[in-house]
Structure 1
């Protein structure tokens, strides 16, 4: 590891200079899961104090660049949560696949009268009720997404009283109600966070979000749920595999 020189004469504090240098090194040379040199090595390479090194690494932890594991070291984190499009998977399953520690905060589950939008999207009868499940989802202790699931209440009797049986809603639906979603339509748009969303996700007001709207269907084609998910733009990205263009024949020169 070749360090960039730090200047004690600069107006920029040493820990901030070190943070810039370490961040650049990580971006250019390391990938998720790689380990950083131990603190004494960084201290020696840059000629700074242990306090400066620890403060820098603590800031990198807060920024989500690295992760400290007691007794093992400091490891490079994946800055973005990558959601692979094309298959219906639960958020919990996707985070577990990527090795993230998941948590849920501020869970609210309630019955509600559907809005006109929900009535139209879910093709509801005039008397149908909706269950609304709202959660703040965290990965490795950091708020990543606000998730709201609107479900047709008649398909999940008792869910309001029992609640989720674990972190994953879809696992609860499959295990408790034998509900399996066969397809979904998804729309993704970029927008800025509202004041409430910024508070819930612990980000600056007007930060960029990726907002997802999904309608999921049962095996018989019945619309079952509408999902509204607001994802942090600096921590979330979508990955999609695309097929090649189909070859088409033209009739140029033919009458």
Structure 2
């Protein structure tokens, strides 16, 4: 929808909100760019300035735009949303929400496992692991750096060309006969290390949302460990909480 239907039951400011939001999602209005002024939108869509102002206010409240005095209204960085209760891949989560996932493969090799990975995957010191380093993209925008360590004793070899910009790690493992069952995950906010900052093209003083995950197969064997550094202002998590019953609180 790119026009205002004045005969619709949908309020005018709701219609305009959906139009502007879609233009942002489609990158017609790109991150950091100034969107049309209130007067320009008033003339373009044939609506009152009060309606336009309410729409801009709603967009700003929802984190899609930000008003800068003396400059205009700019598009804020896009944030992907993830449900913490669901165990799924980056690509699977994005596709479920109608977004377009992608990757830039920075490194795909086999190397000796670091001490931390040895301990987390329960392998022997000196064992090799498959090392996969990728930039993760949503709708063409870089939002994270992902480093994955995959144990090498799962009964198959990972070739250099097995991964491209569209490959989902979990789909790949499932096709190799690895039945994924569960994962342990920890998250924290931190300042990025120098190499992470360079890979993500970050400016100084931009925090990241750092996540570690160990994924297990259905038999409880840890099959991969990953470290993901999300650009702090481009990602958010969704958590559904249930109230504890009073009888449980007293246990």
Both structures adopt the same fold (TM-score exceeding 0.5):
yes
Alignment of 1:93-242 (within 5 A): 93-126=92-125, 128-155=127-154, 157-164=156-163, 166-175=166-175, 177-242=176-241
| Contact kept? 2:136, 2:145, Cα under 8 Å | yes
Q: CA RMSD in A?
A: 3.4
For the structure 1 residues 65 and 122, does the alpha-carbon distance in structure 2 shift closer, same or farther, using more than 3 Å as the test? same
Higher-Rg structure is 1
Per the alignment, residue 242 of structure 2 pairs with: 243
Q: Tell me the TM-score normalised to structure 2 length.
A: 0.67
| Contact kept? 1:109, 1:163, Cα under 8 Å | no
For the structure 1 residues 203 and 162, does the alpha-carbon distance in structure 2 shift closer, same or farther, using more than 3 Å as the test? closer
| Contact kept? 1:194, 1:205, Cα under 8 Å | no
Q: Secondary structure at the match of 2:142?
A: strand
Choose the corresponding residue for 2:40, options 37, 40, 43.
43
Cα distance between partner residues in 1 of 2:148 and 2:213: 9
For the structure 1 residues 45 and 174, does the alpha-carbon distance in structure 2 shift closer, same or farther, using more than 3 Å as the test? same
Consecutive unaligned residues of structure 2, counting only runs of 5 or more, are: 1-12, 25-34, 44-62, 66-74
| Contact kept? 2:115, 2:125, Cα under 8 Å | no
For the structure 1 residues 250 and 197, does the alpha-carbon distance in structure 2 shift closer, same or farther, using more than 3 Å as the test? closer
Shift in Å at residue 160 of structure 1? 2.9
Q: Secondary structure at the match of 1:130?
A: strand
For the structure 1 residues 78 and 123, does the alpha-carbon distance in structure 2 shift closer, same or farther, using more than 3 Å as the test? same
Consecutive unaligned residues of structure 1, counting only runs of 5 or more, are: 1-25, 47-63, 67-75
Choose the corresponding residue for 1:30, options 12, 17, 30.
17
Q: Secondary structure at the match of 2:131?
A: strand
For the structure 1 residues 94 and 156, does the alpha-carbon distance in structure 2 shift closer, same or farther, using more than 3 Å as the test? farther
| Partner deviation per Cα, 1:134-157 (whole Å, 9 max, x = no partner) | 100111221100001111011152
| Contact kept? 1:148, 1:229, Cα under 8 Å | yes
Cα distance between partner residues in 2 of 1:80 and 1:250: 36
State the number of aligned residues: 198
Per the alignment, residue 53 of structure 2 pairs with: none
Cα distance between partner residues in 1 of 2:146 and 2:37: 42
Cα distance between partner residues in 1 of 2:179 and 2:39: 51
